[in-house]
Amino acid sequence: QIQLVESGGGVMQAGDSLRLSCVASGSTFTAYALAWFRQAPGKAREFVAAISWTAQSTYYGNSVKGRFTVSRDNTQNTVYLQMNNLRPEDTAVYYCAANLEVVTTDEDDYRFWGQGTQVTVSS
């Protein structure tokens, strides 16, 4: 099965940019659709972005559309989340997730999850 490790989180100012990375191991990376979710304190987990295994299809949550970009490098077994124009409401733990089937926006479809990386944005 696939293992996922996120990195790149930190404490940022509103308007800053940040790139998260998620490195996969243990299985064929190209077999998986990948997604980013986030969870703020006291709130439900929220879909952020997803990308198909070919990278031809990408999806974004409404709150990040136009500011965040998901990409993947299948030669490096890595998926990225480029976050621009960060806002305080982007503060959350960001999780990388993998799905053997088609790319979806539903967290229940993702079987494999990383441990998360904290992103804090101050105003």
List, for residues 39-92, the tens digit of each pLDDT value.
999 999 999 999 998 899 999 999 999 999 999 999 999 999 999 999 999 999
* Residue 17: predicted pLDDT: 98
Give the chain's mean pLDDT: 95
Question: pLDDT (tens digit, 9 = 90+) per residue, 90-99?
Answer: 999 999 999 9
Residue pointed to by tokens 């079987």: 111
The pair of three-digit structure tokens given for residue 1, joined into one six-digit string: 């099965």
Residue 47 near residue 34, CB atoms below 8 Å: no
Structure tokens at 67: 């500011």
Position 29 pLDDT exceeds 80:
no
Alpha-carbon dihedral sign for residues 120, 21, 5, 33: positive
